[in-house]
Amino acid sequence: MILGVCQWLSYESGIQVGLIRAIFVFGFLFGGIGLGLYLILWLVKVVMT
């Protein structure tokens, strides 16, 4: 993904980045929630840094 959210979330949570990316893609394809959640987490990342 473009904004570095998965890498940041992996660093913060200790979960493998590949698993996080798979969850976002799955969420985007089945229900569209992945994109909205990705953008919200990007805002959180920007505010925290």
Instruction: Report the phi/psi class of residue 39: left, alpha or beta, with left for phi > 0 and alpha for psi in -120 to 50.
Output: alpha
Q: In the chain, which residues have pLDDT < 50?
A: none
What pTM does this model have?
0.75
pLDDT at residue 1 in the model? 58
pLDDT at residue 14 in the model? 95
d(CA 46, CA 44): 5
d(CA 38, CA 41): 5
pLDDT at residue 34 in the model? 79
pLDDT at residue 47 in the model? 93
HSE-CB at 23 with a 13 A cutoff on CA atoms is 13
pLDDT at residue 28 in the model? 84
d(CA 41, CA 48): 10
